[in-house]
């Protein structure tokens, strides 16, 4: 078998891995980079370019038979998407629509809603739904997906078998979320694979204490108890574990958890796959708020009907204002006009619950400045990573005993030396035979 990591041997984001056996090829993930040419990658800077030009500029990896304009090469046999983070699927619009795309059904739903409500474009031409621990064949390969614990819902690792060899691609994962049991199971999944492509986002931050989602929930309860006004929460709407933590903390402190329409749609799209709160009579402490920008967005996309989907569970600005300290509410920079209309934030606090690095972005800095100007009393930073800490990576290597560990999705490949095992460094785009 031949492995080519097209992007990710020395960076986080933009993951693309190609595996070849006897002329048959699969590609795992087709991610958008997070940084390019030493700058934060913003696709709007490049969206005027066509696909061929994106390949010329090395933004898209040059993989023969992968893209819709390539009629000169045998198409890739299958594309696997590990999870619904754009640094793992963001370039899917460029794929040849005849190539089957293997992904979780909930992942497909999350991609669809992202396309509906963000500038991202794309459609999965031939979705093939995968399920935890259900092996399938794709050409020469036998592939087994393993559900993992990650900040993205419905995230998978893959065991890829061919020619009597076994490769494990971990995808993104952690061991301290609400599905930590998946990590414990994975430790015993397959001993001594020929190669373990191991994500190392947290490499470079050894020894850092990583709280689990339950601890985070306890901290959120304390903040909510100590806040005399509404608690504003800035987090990712697609981080289902985190939403559950804040919903539970709100319920425990007698607060109604107010989510925006976008988050409501996300919970609705994935609720069929796990037990989570979603807008319904069953969860009467969960209410839906309609931010102005989202209503305008839906109108512009001719999706007005979605605006009435949760009318029985709607909460308006007046009710939010009058309920004051009995509210916790998701916010983001685009809600500024709504927050202005709600007013009276001087007893409020903000929980910032995302990676600290995003705070350097101007839009977030301006949002925090605005909240401070509104006299929001306290700003708390309460977050835990979606990625495994170094001690859990070490445990995984120890238990799986791989023939070789290949660093991927990391800025610190040399840090892998601390994990033990045989570390095999690859370069982007250079094939490696096992």
Q: How far is the CB of 382 from Zn ion (least distance, A)?
A: 20
The label of the residue with tokens 């015993």 reads 188
Q: How far is the CB of 246 from Zn ion (least distance, A)?
A: 20
- Smaller CB distance to Zn ion: residue 6 or 387? 387
Work out the burial of residue 391: count CB atoms within 10 Å of its CB; fewer than 13 is exposed, 13-18 middle, 19 or more buried: middle
The label of the residue with tokens 């990590």 reads 183
Q: How far is residue 91 from each of residues 84, 114, 121, 126, 172, measured CA to CA in Å?
A: 12, 13, 9, 15, 18
Which two tokens mark 301?
Answer: 């996309």
Q: How far is the CB of 200 from Zn ion (least distance, A)?
A: 13
- Smaller CB distance to Zn ion: residue 84 or 329? 84
Q: How far is the CB of 150 from Zn ion (least distance, A)?
A: 6
For residues 28 and 17, the answer to whether their CB atoms sit within 8 Å is yes
Q: How far is the CB of 266 from Zn ion (least distance, A)?
A: 16
- Smaller CB distance to Zn ion: residue 203 or 231? 203
- Smaller CB distance to Zn ion: residue 166 or 178? 178
Say how far apart CA 109 and CA 269 lie, in whole Å.
6
Say how far apart CA 148 and CA 171 lie, in whole Å.
9
Rg of the chain, C-alpha, whole Å: 22
The label of the residue with tokens 């930590």 reads 180
Beta bridge mates, 4: 18
- Smaller CB distance to Zn ion: residue 152 or 327? 152
Q: How far is the CB of 155 from Zn ion (least distance, A)?
A: 7
Sign, CA torsion 200/135/432/68: negative
Question: Percent helix, strand and coil across the chain, each rounded to 5?
Answer: 35, 25, 45
- Smaller CB distance to Zn ion: residue 25 or 174? 174
Q: How far is the CB of 83 from Zn ion (least distance, A)?
A: 6
- Smaller CB distance to Zn ion: residue 18 or 172? 172
Residue numbers at the binding site for Zn ion (CB under 5 A)? 85, 152, 172
């Amino acid at each position: 078998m031949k492995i080519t990591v097209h992007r990710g041997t020395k960076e986080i984001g933009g993951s693309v891995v190609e595996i070849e056996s006897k002329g048959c090829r699969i590609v795992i993930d087709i991610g958008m980079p997070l940084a390019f040419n030493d700058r934060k990658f913003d696709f709007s800077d490049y969206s005027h370019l066509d696909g061929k030009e994106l390949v010329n500029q090395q933004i898209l990896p040059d993989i023969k038979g992968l893209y819709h304009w390539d009629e000169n090469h045998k198409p890739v046999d299958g594309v696997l998407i590990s999870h619904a983070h754009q640094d793992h699927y963001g370039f899917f619009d460029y794929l040849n629509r005849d190539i089957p795309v293997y992904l979780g059904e909930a992942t497909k739903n999350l991609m669809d809603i992202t396309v509906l409500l963000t500038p991202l474009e794309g459609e999965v031409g031939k979705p093939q739904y995968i399920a935890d621990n259900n092996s399938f064949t794709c050409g020469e390969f036998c592939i087994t997906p393993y559900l993992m614990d990650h900040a993205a819902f419905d995230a998978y690792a893959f065991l890829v078998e061919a020619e009597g060899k076994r490769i494990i691609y971990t995808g993104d994962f952690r061991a301290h979320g609400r599905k930590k049991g998946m990590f414990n199971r994975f430790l015993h999944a397959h001993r001594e694979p020929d190669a373990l492509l191991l994500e190392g986002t947290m490499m470079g931050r050894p020894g850092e204490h990583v709280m689990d989602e339950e601890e985070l929930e306890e901290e959120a309860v304390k903040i909510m108890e100590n806040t005399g006004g509404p608690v504003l929460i800035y987090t990712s709407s697609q981080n289902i574990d985190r939403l559950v933590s804040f919903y539970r903390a709100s319920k425990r402190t007698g607060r109604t958890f107010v989510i925006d329409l976008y988050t409501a749609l996300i919970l609705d799209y994935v609720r069929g796959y796990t037990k989570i709160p979603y807008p319904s009579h069953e969860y009467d402490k969960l209410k839906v708020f309609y931010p102005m920008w989202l209503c305008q967005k839906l109108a512009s996309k001719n999706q007005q009907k979605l605006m009435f989907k949760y009318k029985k569970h709607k909460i308006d600005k007046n009710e939010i204002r009058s309920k004051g300290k009995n509210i916790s509410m998701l916010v983001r920079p685009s809600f500024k006009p709504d927050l202005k209309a709600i007013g009276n934030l001087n007893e409020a606090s903000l929980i910032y619950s995302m990676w600290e690095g995003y705070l350097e972005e101007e839009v977030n800095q301006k949002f925090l400045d605005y909240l401070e100007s509104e006299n929001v009393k306290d700003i708390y930073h309460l977050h835990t990573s979606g990625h495994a800490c170094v001690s859990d990576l070490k445990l995984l290597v120890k238990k799986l005993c791989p023939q070789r560990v290949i660093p991927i999705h990391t800025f610190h490949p040399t840090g892998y030396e601390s994990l033990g095992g045989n570390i095999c460094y690859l370069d982007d785009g250079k094939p490696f035979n096992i």
